[in-house]
Structure 1
Amino acid sequence: MAANRDEFFARPTLAANYWPEHPHILAGRDLEFGGSWLGISLNGRFAAVTNLREVEASGDQSRGDLVKDFLLSQQTSTQFLRDLETKKGQYRPFNLIVNDGKSLCYINNFEPSWTTLPEGIHAIGNIPLSDDNKKTKKGRADMSAAISSAFDHQTLLTMLQDPNPTLDSEEEIYRALSQRFININGYGTRSSSIICKSKNGQWDFWEKSYANSTSQKEALNHFTFSAKPSSSD
């Protein structure tokens, strides 16, 4: 899994780490609402969320809670999404993917129902998975090329780089949002995450944080562990 997180530079954030009150969760943290955009757990769960940029807001609950709640849950992916289906309108527009170690599932709150994703390469951006654009098409193609031969985390971090100069006009800003790596008037790519799961159960999580005009400095952190059977905190 390779992903960029785009967010306002001024929004308070903690880099990926184990959460003190839930030490089996390894994730970044949004300090505004307490949730996360992407994370894994020591019992082999994974979740990530994006916004839906051109979908009208329905609810006002933070979508970052979805990642946190799934990582805290012991439900299967399908059980979690079945329950979420009845209340997903309470959240800000989202795409959500969850994996309980067996099934990778997807849901949004723009379309009805949810789905189990088949084996293969998927690109999830700021549009519903049922749609496609140049950004998601290029994402699938670049990911396919990156993993077609021997690769490491640096290969994927390099793939996530798509530097774009700081832009000013509304037209330039709209065009830049289709880029993979952005920097637009206080908003842009805050971090890149790489997650690899080996067949023997070992997880590796790299997070690269980028320097910006706030106090954030560039850093690359790496975490590794072997997944344990699911258990409560």
Structure 2
Amino acid sequence: MCLILFAYQVHPVYKLIVAANRDEFYQRPTAPVHYWEESPKILAGRDLEKMGTWMGITTKGRFAALTNYRNPQELIEGKRSRGELVAEALKHKGNVKDYLQGLADYNNEYPGYNLLAGDANELFYYSNIEQMLRKIEPGIYGVSNHLLNTEWPKVKIGREGLSRIITGKQEDLADKLFELLQHSDPAPDSILPSTGISLEWERMLSPLFIKSEHYGTRSSTVLLMSEKEIQYAERVFSKAGENNKKYTIVL
């Protein structure tokens, strides 16, 4: 997942609202959102190469999602897959805060990441780059391939768009969030981040929705969680067209 926008405890109905895009190489094998056979309480897509995931929810309302931290100089050979962090957060039987605190012992075993985990009543953020566990306070947030709320153009546009949507008319909320995630205009060169990759790649990666020959936005996901139910919708994009799935979990 390369962009996660979320509103936490600021909406009158939905205590957690998430709109996220997963960016990946098109050739990487992936399964769309489904209930996992070996862990039937987990609803998530799946990376079929490493068998982890980028975002998911459980039937009890636990949420977890992850983005990579962009550092082209980082050596990742021999390190563990970041996707297992989301899977383990969803599988963890104890308090998710304890799980996240325990990750400090394994900071160097994973490439850089940002991890969100919790539920509608308690949500946390941890990055092995920042190495500090944060409890999320009510507000509107965004995280891409830097730290939480870093003002990259896509994060700024996304947070502003999310704020506008949830404070406006409430009809077709999920559709409006999916529309926001489709924003594909690149940012002007003058405000692009400098992360150690080429200018061409900075431009290509700057929109909310990425398109290129070999790499881009593979799926968009919208999560709406109230006290009574969870709505989880995913749109998968491929050369074969768009594949939409929607699930409702009653809490």
SS at match of 2:40: strand
- Report which stretch shifted further, 103-112 or 28-37: 103-112
Looking at structure 1, the residues matched to 215 and 222 of structure 2 have their Cα atoms a distance apart, in angstroms, of: 21
- Report which stretch shifted further, 19-28 or 72-81: 72-81
Q: For residue 177 of structure 1, what is the amino acid of its counterpart?
A: L
From the superposition, tell whether residues 100 and 163 of structure 1 become closer, same or farther in structure 2 (CA, over 3 Å).
closer
Q: Aligned match of 1:67 in 86, 109, 120?
A: 86
Aligned length: 219
Q: Which runs of 5+ in 2 are unaligned?
A: 1-17, 187-197
Corresponding residue of 2:159: 140
Looking at structure 1, the residues matched to 242 and 81 of structure 2 have their Cα atoms a distance apart, in angstroms, of: 27
Q: Aligned match of 1:209 in 236, 240, 248?
A: 236
Corresponding residue of 1:4: 21
The answer on 1:223 being equivalent to 2:247 is yes
The answer on 1:43 being equivalent to 2:71 is no
Q: By how many angstroms is 1:171 displaced?
A: 3.0
Q: For residue 237 of structure 2, what is the amino acid of its counterpart?
A: Y
Q: For residue 41 of structure 1, what is the amino acid of its counterpart?
A: T
Question: Structure 1 residue runs of 4+, over 3 Å off?
Answer: none
Corresponding residue of 2:177: 156
SS at match of 1:143: helix
Looking at structure 1, the residues matched to 163 and 110 of structure 2 have their Cα atoms a distance apart, in angstroms, of: 32
Q: By how many angstroms is 1:75 displaced?
A: 2.2
Corresponding residue of 1:230: none
Looking at structure 2, the residues matched to 76 and 132 of structure 1 have their Cα atoms a distance apart, in angstroms, of: 31
RMSD of aligned Cα (Å): 1.7
Looking at structure 1, the residues matched to 151 and 176 of structure 2 have their Cα atoms a distance apart, in angstroms, of: 25
SS at match of 1:181: coil
Looking at structure 1, the residues matched to 67 and 180 of structure 2 have their Cα atoms a distance apart, in angstroms, of: 19
From the superposition, tell whether residues 130 and 114 of structure 1 become closer, same or farther in structure 2 (CA, over 3 Å).
farther
Q: By how many angstroms is 1:57 displaced?
A: 4.2
The residue correspondences of 1:175-186 to structure 2 (distance < 5 A) are: 175-186=203-214
- The question of whether the paired residues in 2 share the 8 Å contact of 1:164 and 1:176 is answered with no
Looking at structure 1, the residues matched to 35 and 59 of structure 2 have their Cα atoms a distance apart, in angstroms, of: 10
From the superposition, tell whether residues 139 and 163 of structure 1 become closer, same or farther in structure 2 (CA, over 3 Å).
closer
Looking at structure 2, the residues matched to 18 and 181 of structure 1 have their Cα atoms a distance apart, in angstroms, of: 26
Deviations along 1:49-87, one digit per CA (max 9) or x if unpaired, are 010112624671000000100111122231111111111
Question: So what's the TM-score if we normalise by structure 1?
Answer: 0.88
Corresponding residue of 2:35: 18
Q: Aligned match of 1:90 in 85, 109, 129?
A: 109
Looking at structure 2, the residues matched to 67 and 100 of structure 1 have their Cα atoms a distance apart, in angstroms, of: 14
Q: For residue 225 of structure 1, what is the amino acid of its counterpart?
A: I
Corresponding residue of 2:11: none
Deviations along 1:132-165, one digit per CA (max 9) or x if unpaired, are 2222122111100011121421110001012359
Q: For residue 19 of structure 2, what is the amino acid of its counterpart?
A: A
SS at match of 1:146: helix
Corresponding residue of 2:133: 114
Q: Report sequence identity in percent.
A: 37
SS at match of 1:180: coil
Question: So what's the TM-score if we normalise by structure 2?
Answer: 0.82
Deviations along 1:1-48, one digit per CA (max 9) or x if unpaired, are 000000000000000000011110000000000000000001110000
Looking at structure 2, the residues matched to 71 and 39 of structure 1 have their Cα atoms a distance apart, in angstroms, of: 7
Looking at structure 2, the residues matched to 134 and 183 of structure 1 have their Cα atoms a distance apart, in angstroms, of: 17
Corresponding residue of 2:98: 79
Looking at structure 2, the residues matched to 131 and 222 of structure 1 have their Cα atoms a distance apart, in angstroms, of: 30
From the superposition, tell whether residues 49 and 19 of structure 1 become closer, same or farther in structure 2 (CA, over 3 Å).
same
Q: By how many angstroms is 1:211 displaced?
A: 2.0
